[in-house]
Structure 1
């Protein structure tokens, strides 16, 4: 009984954290949203204590921050910060693709193809969150094949940091009929993985993330010009 009493609050905090975390990643709580403790506690049906702890963990994860006169809000990266995030992503994900393509199995590649097909279906149906989820699932299969869980964990953390931007960027690409950036690179990555071709896999990820970085820099330049 003593153990259960000590564990239960932690489990409840985990559940509250997962619920708020999911709302942030889905865009239901977009960047800049205030995380009001009492409102959230009422929505999830708990006391304020697990909500406060969950918000503290979100801050530690870089998904929330404190603002004067507002309290905790969902963190919004500036375009300058996004450029730095994508620079680090390029370093890590290029290496993850190189390592993963050395060890990935044909069964893994089949799973990557399935995620790609589901991603293309989500694109056709204009389901932004689903397409991002399937894209990340595709990449995770390859990165996990590298056999370095720390590398995979760091990459997932960076995805979460820039999730709000990815949602906006993906929506913008969907709205532009001539923009194929949402699916242009993934099939080439699958081909490189099937061929166990590390240089090709690394090159695809390098090109993909450089393309994303250039788009962010262009938006920053436009912002500075206005």
Structure 2
């Protein structure tokens, strides 16, 4: 089953699984830009040891998975980071409107226009997303789980053929779980961000991150 994730404040430089905070991106790696030239904002910093232990996967040890997204306070950007099954949307995201990087931990840094106050992951209760035994006529009455969780399978807000067979689900993050002032980090406060990892560990293409909204 998937596991619920709740959050608690932590120092911005803490090397724990967290939302926001400073990046550990080494100085020899350029800060990621989107195709419009905007500096991306760090939304997730995930030690690979945490992911390996929690998800029973085999990422390189003692490294960091950093997830960045386009984020703007005054300009519309939702279409740049959403993916609801349209492969053109996915191609657009892969151009660099979001970015997933796997790297060794460098000194803390932040070159984005924004620094999201860090919130560490706390693993909570198991979440049952298996509706196979539910009668079809009752499916419409089931409320889609849109909270933050890790492992097993996602709770997609728009359930369509995603074309992500080469990836495995890692985690999802509810926009409203970000600290005050950043509930709009995915443009809409009720949007959900999804992280999928490449099944073949590849430093150049580690995974894909996108959002969905209703």
Larger CA Rg, structure 1 vs 2: 1
The answer, yes or no, to whether TM exceeds 0.5 is no
Higher fraction of strand: 2
Structure with bigger helix share is: 1
TM-score interval for Structure 1 and Structure 2 normalised by the shorter chain: under 0.3
